[in-house]
Amino acid sequence: MSTVLHPPGIRHGFPLTVAAWRDYDRDVCALPGMSLGDHELSRSIALESEHLWNLGARRVVLPHTIDLTRAATSTQRTAQHTVRSLSLVRDLTARAVLVEWRLRLDPGDEETWKLLSHLQPPQQVDGPQQADEQLLTWRHSHYLCKCLWRQGPGFIQIRDRRWGDLRRFTSDEAHYHRAIALLDYGTPAASVPPEVLADFTEEHLVLSVGEFVWWLPYRVKRWIQEAMAI
């Protein structure tokens, strides 16, 4: 089976500090020896999420709010920080780690939460008038493997259930594979071939964060049932 080699993406100069525990349950996390302490994540998110998992982290708390408002993502630095944070939530969700995080959206933004609804639901959503309803729906409808991608010999397939039905996007074209490698941990929109980006945008597979675009599906690390059923 061939392997997609991912570039490092947005990685250096934007450390994230998180707290981690060995169990999902807060009461259990309060017991001696369950805390893994605070961790500053300065390497690529792919490496950091794997490292947290190998340490035994099963609950991770992001103390900062992930801010997707236009104002917050208007500068390159803040947009990069947001993309790194989202990548961490996505990669930990793929491992079925309990991620506690907060999300801020623009007032009137009724769509972004749907794009993110395959991720571990946040503790809080701020901004939209219907934020509480959005979060409640997100929590009630969330399950692992809701939007994922997988690679076979010579092809890539995305399986997306965020909209209530199963939508599949399959490609055996090398330029789509290269684009996913670029998008996986965030890349400037100008670096992706326009026709490929347009296809992924139409399929709701990328999220615009300031001048960057970021790959929404995760490459699943833990199956909830036999892979053939997914």
Q: What's the pLDDT tens digit per position in 94-145?
A: 999 999 999 999 999 999 999 999 999 999 999 999 999 999 999 999 999 9
The pLDDT of residue 224? 57
| DSSP strand pairing (206-209 vs 212-215) | antiparallel
Q: What angle do CA 131, 93, 152 make, to 5 degrees?
A: 125
CB 85 within 8 A of CB 127: no
Residue 135 and residue 210: Cα distance in Å, rounded?
A: 23
CB 135 within 8 A of CB 117: no
Residue 138 and residue 122: Cα distance in Å, rounded?
A: 9
The pLDDT of residue 22? 98
What is this structure's pTM?
0.91
Mean model confidence pLDDT for the chain: 91
